[in-house]
Amino acid sequence: MGKYDFIKLGNLLYWHDPDSGLSNGVYQVASIPENIEEDSVILIASDTSEAEVFPSELSPIHTGRSHKEDFLRWKTEREAEGIEFYDHLSKVMDTENDLSVGDMVAFTNDYGVIFGPCEVLAFGNLCNSGRCVYIDSDSYWFPNRPDQLTIMRGAE
């Protein structure tokens, strides 16, 4: 296992900007060389910018323990009460988003703090606040809005 194995095309990583932390934050890996060395240049991008960085400036975004088993027990109890869950976001709302159970996402809360990667566990009926996506998190029983999630491509 190499020092930079966590750097994969499509992964969301945290960039520690050497320019006094001016642009610190979560970015998606947009381009990588075939072999990553200390002096390799990695292209990262966010919704508003992109940067060429060195591998040593990047770190993985860690997640806590899994709550998937707890969620599955909770979901079974809700289904016994007649509540329906779905495997695809498109079953809940009209969307071009191809989000499905099993996808890995980063969750951005209302204060801009990013958590993840988190696995999508289910979709529930859309409520007035737009919440319908259940993810593997500490609050697995509380659905998130689709606009709070960023799918992590190439993270397998």
Mean pLDDT over each residue of the chain, to the nearest integer: 87
CA 145, 133, 99, 92 torsion-angle sign: negative
**Where along the chain do its domains lie?**
12-60, 68-151
Question: Binning pLDDT at 50, 70 and 90, where does residue 32 land?
Answer: very high
In three-state form (DSSP H/G/I as H, E/B as E, the rest C), the secondary structure along 45-65 is ECCCCEEEECHHHEEECCCCC
pLDDT reported for residue 62: 64
Long-range CB pairs of 130-137, under 8 A, 24+ apart, other chains included: 132/89, 132/92, 132/93, 133/89, 133/99, 134/71, 134/75, 134/85, 135/105, 135/107, 136/63, 136/66, 136/67, 136/68, 136/71, 137/67, 137/107
Cis peptide upstream of residue 33 (ω within 30 degrees of 0): no
d(CA 53, CA 45): 10
pLDDT digits (tens, 9 = 90+) for 87-132: 999 999 988 877 999 998 888 888 877 777 789 999 999 877 889 9
74 burial level (CB within 10 Å; 0-12, 13-18, 19+): middle
Which residue in the block uniquely carries the two structure tokens 């323990």? 65
More confident residue, 133 or 5: 133
